[in-house]
Structure 1
Amino acid sequence: MSKRLAAPRRIVFVATDLAEELDLFGSVSAFRAANRSPALNSPAYSIEIVSGTRTAAIAGNCGITLLSNGSCFDLRGAIDTLIVVSGEHAHQPHSKELLAWLAEHGPKARRLVSICTGAFVLAQAGLLDGRRVTTHWSRAAMLAERFPAADVSANELWVRDGPVYTSAGVTAGIDLTLALIEDDIGAAAALEVARGLVVFLRRPGGQAQFSVTLAAQQAQTPAIRTLQAWLPEHLAEDLNVQRLADRAAMSARHFARVFRRELGDTPAAYVQRLRLEQARWMLEDGSWSIERIAALCGFSDAQLMRRALKRTLGVSPGQYRSLHHASPA
């Protein structure tokens, strides 16, 4: 069931010039989709897009010029959620006027959010000091080096530290927005939005920016590539080398040799990493018992999964869930 808010919550997006359009539009689209939920009698959000300059125009990174609702400097009244969006040039110095405005108004908002490289803008305003944060993986080291007062996590989709939320790149901003929607008006509404946008509901903040299949190099042999796509949907099954070789139409010995040459791992180790990744996601989600997770991920019992998780991450399934299960705001 969706929660009903007494009044629409004011969401303000501040976009710098050369902002990444998808970072902005993905999150805006999710909030607007939430407003269309049939479970709500009235919109949950009042959404404004403003520039970080004195004009209403925002030059996008992909060449689109957006005529926004105005300038951030003309805003009046309380802001519930202030979201900062920038682009590939976010690490460059921003105007003192914008940074001063953010330093004044950011702490007054109930939630302060950055999407992708927007973290650099918040950091320049001094708003990430002492906070645990994230950004796009390719810029995380730079953020950590330039702003040592921030505790930068390089491999999480999004991070919450008190009222400050930061996300990784592009579609991770949608994951974070879905989490905000769920906190505001409930899981059912967030699920409806996710289905409308054809995205997952919802990848937890602690999930890695790269999945096993994205991090691994893609095989050159078509049969191995096809197998890579097939494996994540069949983790609960017996995935011994002979069965995988049969699917690839190879002998077991030749299959194992080709697999390791092209993916840099043995079939067994690759499957184990997929199973652990799926188990981590399910533990983070919090909807399944540890025994059920072990069965669905292809571990013969919960104790085997426990040993694998402990060996890989140094924690038990229960400890991992306690550390990473998303809790309401």
Structure 2
Amino acid sequence: MVPLSDREREEAARLLNSALGGEIQDLAAQAGIEDIAINPDGRAFVYDSAGKRRLETRFDADRRSQIVTLAARFAGVVAEGRGRLSFAADLPGQIRFQGGIPPRAVGGPYVVLRFLPRTVRSFQDYIDDGVAPIEGREAEVAWDDHEGVGIGLPTMDCIAAALAAKLTIAVFGETGSGKTSLLTSMVNHPAVQPDRLVILEDTPELQFPCVQDVLRLSSIGLDMSDLLRDALRCRPDRIILGEARDGVFWIFVMAQYTGHSGGLVTLHASNPADFFDRVEQMVAQAGVDPAPQRRVLMKTLQRIVWIRRRPGGGRDIVGVYRPDGYDAICGYKLARIDVPHLAYEGYGIAHQPMLWR
């Protein structure tokens, strides 16, 4: 990295905006824009809450190369070695840049702009926008200890109750499903605001305007497992793991299991069946046999929230679940504890134990 003066950064940003052009600048000023992708063939697409659409502008190879070069200049990326192939950078206006050139990019330079949310959505926003179901139900079973927290409540109330009780919550979904946005809402929830948060991210994405006592740690230049160990020494009330990807997840689980409760984490999985498959994969990546640890995993991951993209655009918080045992034949069992009667593509109903795998 080559640090630039403020004047040099301003000039690089001006030239970059000019290269991107008016159509993208206009989109960047709009609320709700999530990503803009400029492909090696010159076509550009915008992604927002309504779905995907193609832009009128077509970007030739020279212009795409110019955008990548100017973004590298703004970020101070040295144009040698791997820096010539692809890189990521933070641009003004809460924009995350990812771009590359051949040979890493087959067919020509490419650009992806990710627009981080400019505002934090409240739980009520999720309800008002139709993302979260609003009906609840009466609990039909007497639950002990944390198992009873939030049972029978509408979806967002169920999550709020879990936050207030300092349960460990995992949010999962596919790429682009809105996991980070939901995690941001949870981090800024009134039940979390008084706590000291230690936030661990590969690249900073979470916003926390409502929280005063925050330590944000980045894995840049440091292994994430070392970063998590650092976090344990920083007196956290809650540890927030922006995205679990590998064996560091097992360290997070152990931290929650041994007294650092109330942690929040996101991970990639397409459905509840894939969720525990992914969990076991990450445990195995830590060099730990997941089979003897299943009881620990089920006891630690106290609430599991599934969010997904709608086929036609938008998102759904499908439900809130808790682990409900393990069967040697069928695998993990999950019980849905929020809305009772909403089946989602045949994935089971209500509070009845559901078998996955």
For Structure 1 versus Structure 2, the TM-score category normalised by the shorter chain is under 0.3
User: Which protein has the bigger helix share?
Assistant: 1
User: Which protein has the bigger strand share?
Assistant: 2
TM-score by length of 2: 0.26
